[in-house]
A and B are shown apart, each in its own frame.
Chain A
Amino acid sequence: MAALMFLKGVMKKMKVLNEMSMSFESRSANESFARTAVAAFASQLDPTVGELNEIRTAVSEAVTNCVVHAYRDTIGSISVNAKITEGNTLTIKIRDKGCGIEDVSRAMEPLYTTAPEEERAGLGFAVMQSFTDKLSVRSKPGRGTTVTLVKRLSPRLSDV
């Protein structure tokens, strides 16, 4: 929670240079759409191939969580917002209005999964964590979940 407050504070101070929002249905076919769209938005920061792949992967994990867990046997809406702020920083919010997470810290434990039949290894949050610079999860059971990913991209030659 403290980390979240800190994050909010930092984000307020930073000037937003560009922003995009989109929403789509929680169908698994949209997983590739979502990560590709965010990667296309991020490409204006001139990221390295590795950074772009990390962004794509983290978004894919977050969106898949919405499809598999938040809206388990239903179809709901997933919204994604991405902001570029000063200092080559990309902040991505993935929001659903699904079932929510009872115990966020438990859900974030590597290998913990509530959907073993999906064979997803229970690595979603662990991957988001290691592929970005900051991960925060806000959730209310019955109301939904917001995952915020912050990625600082390496400074490019043109900025130096």
Chain B
Amino acid sequence: MLLKPKTKFDGKVLTVYLSGDIDHHSARKIREYTDALIGEMKPVMLLLDFSAVTFMDSSGVGLIMGRYRIMKLYGGSVRAVSIPPALRKMMELSGLGCLDVLERGYEKNESA
């Protein structure tokens, strides 16, 4: 990820549109950028939009878990949405389902 991710803030929900490959290298930049925005805007909910993500290893799982912790501190929540089929196996393995951060019914969207 060379460019800063696109974002949208409606006063409550902060959406971060992730794109390209998420690995240990790119996750660091995404993390710094997102955390600065969270600190600045204090959103009630952080939406991580994965629709343009082409690859993700376990660094992406760490990225979601870390943002989950931070949003909890602010009394907010995190949701990972528009997860492409290629990322499904990683999401399943991650155990993130237990934290209730994955978009509901995302499995169904993918098989369709």
A interface residue numbers (CB < 8 A to B) = 28-29, 31-32, 35, 49-50, 53-54, 56-57, 60-61, 64, 67-68, 118-121, 123-124, 126-127, 130-131
Contact = CB atoms under 8 A, between A and B. Distances in A.
Interface stretch (B51-59, B71-79, B100-108): B51-59
A121 B62 contact: yes
A123 B55 contact: no
Interface residues of B, number: 22
A31 B61 CA distance: 17
A56 B25 contact: no
A32 to B, nearest CB: 6
B23 interface: yes
Chain B interface mostly helix, strand, loop or mixed? helix
A127 B58 contact: yes
Chain A interface mostly helix, strand, loop or mixed? helix
Nearest to A124: B58
Interface string B24-38: 110110010000000
Given A67-B24, A120-B24, A131 B89 contact: yes
Contacts of B23: 28, 31-32, 35, 60, 64
Contacts of B44: none
B59 A120 contact: yes
A40 to B, nearest CB: 14
Contacts of A126: 58, 93
B21 A32 contact: yes
A28 B89 contact: no
B94 A123 contact: yes
30 contacts: A28-B24, A28-B28, A29-B25, A32-B23, A32-B25, A35-B23, A35-B55, A53-B86, A56-B55, A57-B56, A57-B90, A60-B57, A64-B23, A64-B59, A68-B24, A118-B62, A119-B31, A119-B59, A119-B63, A119-B66, A120-B58, A120-B59, A120-B62, A121-B94, A123-B61, A123-B62, A123-B93, A123-B94, A124-B58, A126-B58
